[in-house]
């Protein structure tokens, strides 16, 4: 009975994900031990506790809200990666699509004073177009989507820096605050902020992201389009044989993937939780973390919701490490170690299956040996 | 006096699970002779050569070089013994020059620097001695297939190999290049090299080989001197007269033309010669037409062109009076073409999909299975799958939700046949539909094909199995090097005659 449960794919995914998390925490702990053994236990606890590091309930709620605010964009990026992955494409360009999505909504909000809905829609369109470039190159010129995706990540970053430099604060590299300069573009909170002790950054972005995750699952599992896309991802030749429009499917997938990641950008920057720094010289990690979240979530849209939250929880928790004992980069180091280990989900699944096969083989041999003995008698 | 044999393979037996690939086979190659190895697909030629090359170890039998017993564990051992091989698919580095390819692996160096001048001298001397014209500085991807093959031969000669194996060397060559290769092989033999020539083309064997060893279904049939033999004898030896179970069928009631192909040409992906050249044929209602031929004579490309997987270079295809030469795969399918593909894993199934999802692979988009908004009608799909599973006796562990990957080959094929036949096509294209199936499943497939014919459908069968070719169809068209070279009546023809057409020893003018 126990073995049958282990063979279940969903159970396997869950076990593998939990194992990855434990391994990641362990590795993080070991690294901390090396740097400064005296504070290691405390530091790793601080990372795991995140907002529980605060003792007061209202601060806990507020910071829980903050973690959720950043979970929404991460979830969108990981949905983008997951969706493309189901069609056999590796959308590493999600990072760049997230960047151009952020750019589009911020520019429309600050330069043109659009309200939030058109800003969000513009992000979706721009992200879709950005994804389409990768799709067109893949479908018609056979350019690997990873290569074109990475290059477009950088093109997106510097174009964004250039454009947003026109709407930045005069004395800092950061874009203007929506709260002061473009309140019309702030995503509505619908009273959600009240649940998190008046955290104004908690907006409809969070429930929307969850709804979109569910929508993606429905699209993949219940519709004709999902049937076609997954068939293309599983067996390109069979999809072609069955008369599916393979090229159209590739392009459409990357358009949807691009739109999802770009929406993630809008979900963060239209809350005014962060401002864009026009001097940043590396592509934000949100899209890349989306890859880890997609795998940690067992490549299941619902699993991805929890995985995205966990990764954001750890990342936010990093801020609570005692900086008198560790340098300020330690929080990023620990969370990235854990995220890195999250990529090992498929490997652990494989190991579980190998283990089952081996023990079954042994059981068979034993049974055969027992039979022989019985026969000899 | 020492033995006249350069290499002897005595009583070689090689078993694989469930099959004896080589059953007590003896092959003796004399010094300086050209020795042909003849047999159908699956006769055991490749296995025997792999044993000689050290890729497989034989369970029984010995290999002798110059009368001394040797053991060959891997291809390096074979190389050390002076055995070289030109593979059917060349093993050349496309972006290197001819010279670089020839010395690859045995580069002459001094203090770690390449000494290409010496190598060049040796290559030029060899190429002159044996009449192997190559340009040592040309890049391999720019030169003709013929010159690539000469490069492969020079590779063997550069390594001072004495025993040269040619694995179906003429498959990719033009007739002129074939003539030249024949000359080269005779030259090499005259200079004392021993040549093993693997082929199933009788004309070439008769033209160039001194002796010929024939294998059939893993067994040794015999060795003959070609000068004292005839294509008819070799063909009979190759094909054999084996008892086969018969397919019962009523006389055909042939109706209107369903499929009309005129002057169809399909380009090849691997070489410059067209894979299918100017093929014209018709298939009528109520008949099974079979395209017979040895593997690799353009049958696959013919099917790709017919079903739309590859574009036509020229020619027209008419299905039920409608020109579908440029139609998409989907359009061809909805116009009444069903296709049982050659490779059920590569094309026929999405292995990670459930059985029911695979059963609707050609019709999932129909209103019956998808509603107006685009949602799948899961309940209809389930009902449909249950019916097909029941009617076609498709067996699986968990019924409609079984992953296709978890099903046996026979049941996978049954699922494909259920799907394609139930589409109620005008034309059923069945490509090697019994490949890899056991006797019971083969019978099932044959019965279904005959049922379709009796229901007034046009059936086009593409087969490599001689038994199937003789038993199932009402008409046989033989394909050789991308052309239809003969039309035969299975009731009056013999396997020997069929073999002659398949090996290119005989051809008629066929008009459609």
Contact A235 B365 (CB under 8 A): no
Contact A234 B351 (CB under 8 A): yes
CA of B462, closest CA in chain A: separation in Å?
17
- DSSP 3-state of A182: coil
pLDDT tens profile B306-354: 999 999 999 999 999 999 999 999 999 999 999 999 888 889 999 999 9
User: Which residues of A fall within a CB distance of 8 Å from B378?
Assistant: 222
pLDDT tens profile A235-248: 989 999 999 998 99
**Contact (CB, 8 A) for B82 and B50:** no
Per-residue 3-state assignment (H helix, E strand, C coil) for B462-503: EECCHHHHHHCCCEEEEEECCEEEEEECCCCCCHHHHHHHHC
Highest mean pLDDT among A68-77, B128-137, B263-272 belongs to A68-77
pLDDT tens profile A278-293: 999 999 989 999 998 9
With residue B156 as reference, give the H or E element that holds it: helix B145-158
Which residues are CB-contacts of A90 (< 8 A; sequence separation ≥ 6)? Answer: A81, A84, A145, A146, A149
Q: Report pLDDT for B166.
A: 92
Rg (CA), chain B: 26
CA of B172, closest CA in chain A: separation in Å?
25
User: And the tokens for A220?
Assistant: 């993949």
Q: Is the pLDDT of residue B243 over 50?
A: no
**Quick one: closest CA in B to A237, which residue?**
B347
Rounded CA separation B76/B55 (Å) = 10
Determine what percent of chain B is predicted with pLDDT higher than 90: 53
**Ordered DSSP codes for A30-80:** HHHHHH-GGGHHHHHHHHHHGGGGS-SHHHHHHHHHHHHHHHHHHHHHHHH
Rounded CA separation A321/A47 (Å) = 7
Q: Report pLDDT for A372.
A: 58
Res. B242 pLDDT band, cuts 50 70 90: very low
User: And the tokens for B340?
Assistant: 């049982």
Please, what is the average pLDDT of chain A? 88
pLDDT tens profile A298-309: 889 999 999 999
Q: Which residue in the set A223, A237, A244 is minimally distant from B347, CB to CB?
A: A237
Q: Which residue in the set B309, B331, B365 is minimally distant from A240, CB to CB?
A: B309
Contact B348 A241 (CB under 8 A): yes
**Contact (CB, 8 A) for B308 and B332:** yes
Contact B350 A241 (CB under 8 A): no
**Quick one: closest CA in B to A219, which residue?**
B375
User: Which residues of A fall within a CB distance of 8 Å from B308?
Assistant: 243
Rounded CA separation B296/A370 (Å) = 51
Rounded CA separation A356/A8 (Å) = 12
**Quick one: closest CA in B to A221, which residue?**
B376
CA of B445, closest CA in chain A: separation in Å?
21
Angle, CA of B423, B427 and B429, to the nearest 5°: 95
pLDDT tens profile A337-350: 877 887 787 788 88
pLDDT tens profile B166-211: 988 876 676 677 888 899 999 999 989 999 999 877 888 999 999 9
On the CB side of A318, CA atoms within 13 Å amount to 22
What ipTM score was computed for the predicted complex, to two decimals?
0.80
Q: Is the pLDDT of residue A131 over 90?
A: yes
Which residues are CB-contacts of B160 (< 8 A; sequence separation ≥ 6)? Answer: B82
pLDDT tens profile A108-120: 999 999 999 999 9
Point out the least confidently predicted range of A5-14, B217-226, B284-293, B356-365: A5-14
Task: For chain B, say whether A237 makes contact (Cβ under 8 Å).
Answer: yes
Please, what is the average pLDDT of chain B? 88
Q: Report pLDDT for A242.
A: 94
User: Which residues of B fall within a CB distance of 8 Å from A227?
Assistant: 357, 364, 376
- DSSP 3-state of B313: coil
Contact B350 A240 (CB under 8 A): no
């Amino acid at each position: 009975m126990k073995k049958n449960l282990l063979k279940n794919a969903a159970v396997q995914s869950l076990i593998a994900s939990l194992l990855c998390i434990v391994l990641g925490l362990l590795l993080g702990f070991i690294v901390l031990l090396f740097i400064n053994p005296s504070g290691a236990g405390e530091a790793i606890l601080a990372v795991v506790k995140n907002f529980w590091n605060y003792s007061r309930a209202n601060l806990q709620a507020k910071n829980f809200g903050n973690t959720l605010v950043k979970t929404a964009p991460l979830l969108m990026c990981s949905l983008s990666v997951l969706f493309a992955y189901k069609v056999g494409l590796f959308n590493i360009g999600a990072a760049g699509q997230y960047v151009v999505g952020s750019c589009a909504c911020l520019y429309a909000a600050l330069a043109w004073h659009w309200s939030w809905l058109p800003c969000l829609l513009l992000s979706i369109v721009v992200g879709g177009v950005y994804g389409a470039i990768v799709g067109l190159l893949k479908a018609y010129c056979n350019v690997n989507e990873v290569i074109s995706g990475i290059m477009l990540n950088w093109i997106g970053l510097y174009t964004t820096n250039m454009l947003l430099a026109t709407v930045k604060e005069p004395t800092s590299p950061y874009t203007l605050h929506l709260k002061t300069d473009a309140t019309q573009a702030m995503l509505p909170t619908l009273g959600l902020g009240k649940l998190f002790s008046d955290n104004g950054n908690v907006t409809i972005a969070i429930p929307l992201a969850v709804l979109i995750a569910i929508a993606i699952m429905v699209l993949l599992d219940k519709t004709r389009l999902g049937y076609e896309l997954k068939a293309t991802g599983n067996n390109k030749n069979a999809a072609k044989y069955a008369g599916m429009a393979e090229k159209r499917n590739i392009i459409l997938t990357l358009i949807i993937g691009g739109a999802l990641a770009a929406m993630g950008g809008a979900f963060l920057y239209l809350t005014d939780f962060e401002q864009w720094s026009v001097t940043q010289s590396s592509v934000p990690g949100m899209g890349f973390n989306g890859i880890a979240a997609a795998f940690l979530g067992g490549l299941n849209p619902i699993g991805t919701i929890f995985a995205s939250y966990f990764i954001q929880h750890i990342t936010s928790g990093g801020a609570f490490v005692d900086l008198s004992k560790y340098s300020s980069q330690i929080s990023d180091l620990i969370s990235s170690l854990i995220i890195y280990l999250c990529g090992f989900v498929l490997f652990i699944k494989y190991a579980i299956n190998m283990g089952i096969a081996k023990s079954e083989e042994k059981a068979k041999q034993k049974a055969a040996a027992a039979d022989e003995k019985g026969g000899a008698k | 006096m020492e033995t006249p044999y350069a290499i002897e393979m005595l009583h070689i037996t090689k078993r694989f699970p469930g099959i004896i690939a080589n059953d007590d086979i003896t092959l003796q190659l004399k010094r300086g002779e050209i020795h042909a190895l003849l047999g159908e697909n699956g006769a055991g030629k490749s296995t025997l050569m792999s044993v000689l090359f050290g890729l497989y170890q034989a369970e029984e039998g010995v290999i002798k070089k110059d009368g001394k017993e040797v053991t060959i564990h891997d291809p390096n051992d074979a190389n050390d013994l002076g055995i070289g091989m030109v593979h059917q698919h060349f093993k050349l580095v496309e972006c290197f020059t001819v010279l670089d390819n020839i010395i690859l692996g045995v580069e002459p160096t001094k203090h770690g620097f390449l000494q290409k001048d010496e190598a060049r001298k040796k290559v030029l001397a060899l190429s002159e001695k044996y009449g192997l014209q190559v340009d040592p500085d040309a890049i391999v991807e720019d030169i003709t297939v013929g010159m690539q093959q000469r490069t492969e031969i020079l590779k063997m000669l550069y390594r001072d190999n004495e025993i040269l194996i040619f694995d179906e060397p003429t498959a990719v060559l033009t007739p002129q290049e074939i003539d030249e290769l024949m000359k080269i092989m005779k030259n090499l033999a005259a200079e004392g090299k021993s040549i093993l020539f693997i082929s199933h083309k009788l004309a070439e064997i008769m033209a160039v080989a001194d002796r010929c060893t024939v294998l059939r279904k893993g067994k040794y049939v015999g060795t003959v001197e070609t000068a004292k033999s005839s294509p008819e004898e070799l063909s009979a030896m190759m094909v054999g007269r084996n008892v086969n179970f018969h397919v019962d069928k009523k006389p055909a009631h042939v109706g209107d033309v369903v499929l009309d192909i005129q002057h169809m040409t399909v380009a090849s992906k691997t070489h410059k010669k067209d894979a299918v050249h100017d093929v014209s044929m018709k298939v009528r209602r109520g008949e099974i037409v079979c395209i017979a031929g040895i593997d690799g004579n353009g049958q696959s490309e013919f099917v790709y062109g017919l079903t739309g997987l590859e574009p036509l270079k020229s020619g027209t295809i008419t299905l039920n009076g409608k020109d579908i030469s440029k139609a998409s795969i989907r359009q061809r399918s909805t116009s009444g073409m069903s296709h049982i593909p050659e490779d059920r894993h590569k094309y026929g199934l999405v292995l990670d999909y459930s059985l029911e999802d695979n059963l609707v692979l050609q019709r999932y988009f129909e209103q019956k299975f998808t509603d107006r908004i685009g949602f799948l009608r899961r309940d209809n799909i389930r009902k449909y799958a249950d019916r097909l599973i029941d009617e076609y006796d498709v067996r699986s562990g968990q019924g409609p939700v079984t992953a296709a990957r978890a099903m046996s080959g026979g049941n996978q094929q049954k699922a494909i046949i259920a799907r394609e036949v139930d589409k109620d096509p005008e034309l059923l294209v069945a490509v090697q539909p019994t490949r890899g199936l056991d006797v019971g499943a083969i019978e099932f497939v044959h019965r279904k094909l005959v049922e379709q014919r009796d229901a007034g459908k046009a059936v086009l069968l593409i087969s490599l199995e001689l038994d199937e070719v003789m038993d199932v169809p009402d008409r046989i068209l033989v394909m050789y090097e991308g052309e239809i070279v003969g039309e035969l009546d299975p009731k009056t023809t013999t396997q020997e005659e069929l073999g002659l057409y398949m090996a290119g020893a005989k051809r008629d003018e066929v008009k459609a």
